[in-house]
Amino acid sequence: MFDSLKERLEGIFSKLRGKGRLTEEDINDALREVRRALLEADVNYKIAKDLVERIKERCLGQEVLSSITPAQQVYAVVYEELCNLMGGKKERLNFASKPPSVFMLVGLQGSGKTTTAVKLALKISDSHKPMVVACDLRRPAAVKQLKVLAEKAGIPFFGPDEAGSGDVLGVAKKALRYADDHLIDVVIFDTAGRLHIDEDLMAELEQMHKTLNPHEVLLVIDAMTGQEGVNVAQMFKEKAGITGVILTKLDGDARGGAALAVKAATGVPVKLVGVGEHLEDLEEFDAARMAQRILGMGDMEGLLEKIQKSSDTKEIERVQKNLQDNKFTLEDLLVQLRQIQKLGPLDKVMDMLPLPGKVKSQVSDIDFRRIKHVEAVILSMTPEERRRPEIIKGSRKRRIAMGSGTNVQMVNQVLRQYEQMKEIFKRFGKNKGKLRGLKLPK
């Protein structure tokens, strides 16, 4: 996600850090590059220009120029302004005080609307009893797709078949009645999609709006469409009264333009983001976290949440303590590998870590499919070897290889992986400290 923007900003800041004290010209040069990076990320010209102006104003004030760590200060200002640009605070969904809550999902065809309807239902199903309703009646395939996905997720589905009606408003009304009868407290409507915005579509949405009186009208936008997505949002805002945006496909090579600019351009907040093809891959949008990711600060909070959800906390605490004491052992590596496997695809986990791109690609190369072998190798070591791997030389390697049913190459590979992980966790700890030093926006 946002790889090229992240890389550009990383380069700009490492240049600044290399300079020590900064002159006005240094800051101007750096900010010119920041603006270029934003334009390349497909952020609208005016929004990029205004953002950089705001950053410049603050950076050229005494706050930065007289600071002992000026580069760090510039970084903090950029961070805060990126957060503000994206809306600053977290925007929650607006549920009805008296159920059912009615959500309309609108958007162009291919944006991910149908998938997102089910993702959203699944996401809130811990605390609600949601249902999805197919109202894209011109495309039978869309109705079927919603039904199949809903079944897969175990979410109640309502569509034209059950209603025995072909008209959208008829289906919508029946769906609401059905919801009442079945104690459904959130009804999510998947509305008609088109390849382009047209009068017809807007008229249909307007009628639905009148009939349903929704608590949320959520526009689904494909983040990969960048500025175009922002234009679409502007149109839907004018014509369909959207109350929030869901950006999808942020896991792809989206350049970031839409995520950065949609709030500034339309005043409508991004509420959720789609980060993968699986039905669980929908997250709340958090401007601060997004800014942290863009600036390569990693997403500590997100990662910790993920770890806590998926892991044995006692074990993690023990490893964390070892990390703090700089005593990361091969046994800890084993625990970490098992945890990482549980966290999901490695590239996503890596995305959340505050590491330079180079280190990330090295780690992503580690072949975690061979984890069983890694386990066997580590288990074939003596406790002394696990604590002090530097003593593992030729004959020990051969013995471990034999004992684990692998070969010396495999033993070498495990030792290399261990060194890499140790390095990562060392940096992980350092960056965490750095994060704490930054002022977070209110």
Contact residues for ligand GDP, defined by CB under 6 A: 107, 109-115, 145, 193, 248-249, 251-252, 274-277, 281
Closest to ligand GDP by CB, 102 or 275: 275
Phi, psi of 337 (to 5 degrees): -60, -40
| 107 belongs to an annotated ligand binding site | yes
Listed in sequence order, the residues at least 6 apart from 110 whose beta carbon sits closer than 8 Å to its beta carbon are 193, 195, 222
Residue 115's SS3 state is helix
Closest to ligand GDP by CB, 31 or 279: 279
Q: Whole-number minimum distance, CB 3 to ligand GDP, in Å?
A: 15
DSSP assignment of 397-442: HHHHHHHHTS-HHHHHHHHHHHHHHHHHHHHHHHHHHHHHTSPPP-
Burial class (CB in 10 A: 0-12, 13-18, 19+), 409: exposed
DSSP assignment of 411-422: HHHHHHHHHHHH
Contact between residue 357 and residue 1 where contact means Cβ atoms under 8 Å apart: no
Q: Whole-number minimum distance, CB 192 to ligand GDP, in Å?
A: 10
Closest to ligand GDP by CB, 226 or 276: 276
Closest to ligand GDP by CB, 115 or 336: 115
Q: Whole-number minimum distance, CB 141 to ligand GDP, in Å?
A: 9
Helices marked H in 246-329 — which ranges?
257-266, 287-294, 300-310, 313-324
Contact between residue 225 and residue 194 where contact means Cβ atoms under 8 Å apart: no
| 194 belongs to an annotated ligand binding site | yes
CA pair distance 160, 174, nearest whole angstrom = 10
CA pair distance 171, 160, nearest whole angstrom = 6
H/E stretch holding 103 reads strand 101-106
Closest to ligand GDP by CB, 52 or 272: 272
Q: Whole-number minimum distance, CB 247 to ligand GDP, in Å?
A: 8
Q: Whole-number minimum distance, CB 270 to ligand GDP, in Å?
A: 13
| 190 belongs to an annotated ligand binding site | yes
Residue with the CB atom nearest ligand GDP in the bound state = 274
Residue 96's SS3 state is coil
Contact between residue 299 and residue 292 where contact means Cβ atoms under 8 Å apart: yes
* Residue 144 neighbours by CB distance under 10 Å: 14
Contact between residue 180 and residue 118 where contact means Cβ atoms under 8 Å apart: no
Contact between residue 262 and residue 233 where contact means Cβ atoms under 8 Å apart: yes
| 388 belongs to an annotated ligand binding site | no
| 382 belongs to an annotated ligand binding site | no
| 114 belongs to an annotated ligand binding site | yes
| 113 belongs to an annotated ligand binding site | yes
Q: Whole-number minimum distance, CB 1 to ligand GDP, in Å?
A: 10
Closest to ligand GDP by CB, 114 or 339: 114
Q: Whole-number minimum distance, CB 195 to ligand GDP, in Å?
A: 10
| 192 belongs to an annotated ligand binding site | yes
Strand partners, 186: 101, 130
Angle between helices 330-343 and 300-310 (to 10 degrees): 90
Closest to ligand GDP by CB, 76 or 273: 273
| Pick from 166, 157, 159: nearest CA to 184 | 157
Closest to ligand GDP by CB, 37 or 131: 131
Q: Whole-number minimum distance, CB 139 to ligand GDP, in Å?
A: 8
CA pair distance 175, 158, nearest whole angstrom = 6
Contact between residue 259 and residue 252 where contact means Cβ atoms under 8 Å apart: no
Closest to ligand GDP by CB, 2 or 75: 2
| 154 belongs to an annotated ligand binding site | no
Q: Whole-number minimum distance, CB 431 to ligand GDP, in Å?
A: 27
| 180 belongs to an annotated ligand binding site | no
| 240 belongs to an annotated ligand binding site | no
Residues in binding site for GTP: 107-114, 190-194, 248-251
Residues in the annotated binding site: 107-114, 190-194, 248-251
